[in-house]
Structure 1
């Protein structure tokens, strides 16, 4: 018999923009933009690096990251980053957070540098 009261999906946190901004300030935090490279180039959060969640090499590139560092993930609206956050959690990342609403809801300035 199936037990629907327990989730087998690895956990990650969905954070509001304010919670996300506060959390990513912790020492060692990684800020990961999972949009396409062209979207990233058009504007991203300062300090972020880009790994396209839709790219065929996303899994191997994620595997090379430090799983012990807090990882903050975002995209345009929060859908792709939620998928990426689930993949990171499944891959054994200890602390993963997803930005609810993505950059569409981000109150701060984006950078192209």
Structure 2
């Protein structure tokens, strides 16, 4: 897992054609605040359901993971690494500091 600043995350993401953006916030947070365009949303608070859904993702992809502040996404990256995902990137500062595009749900 790599902890990336907002700038590093956006730069690497823009140059990565094997990327998946993963939002691990709650459904309520996504509805209230929006989502980074084209992100996959899987709520980390769903426990085993989160693990089950994550395990359906392509482990060969590079994952750019975010939550509101960077804490839950760090936990999600650690869980994903334990499940065999080799390329996970955590967004430091999370969505609350995101300055890029936002889509409404």
Q: Structure 2-normalised TM-score?
A: 0.91
SS of residue paired to 2:3: strand
Q: Counting helix residues as a fraction of each chain, which structure ranks higher? A: 2
The runs of at least 4 aligned residues of structure 1 exceeding 6 Å deviation read none
- TM-align CA RMSD: 1.1
TM-score normalized with structure 1 length: 0.85
2:59 corresponds in structure 1 to: 67
Secondary structure of the corresponding residue to residue 45 of structure 2: coil
Unpaired runs of 5+ residues, structure 2, are none
Confirm whether residue 91 of structure 1 aligns to residue 83 of structure 2: yes
Gaps of 5+ in 1: 1-11
SS in 2 for 1:68: coil
**Larger Rg: 1 or 2?**
1
Partner Cα separation in structure 2 for residue 82 and residue 44 of structure 1: 18
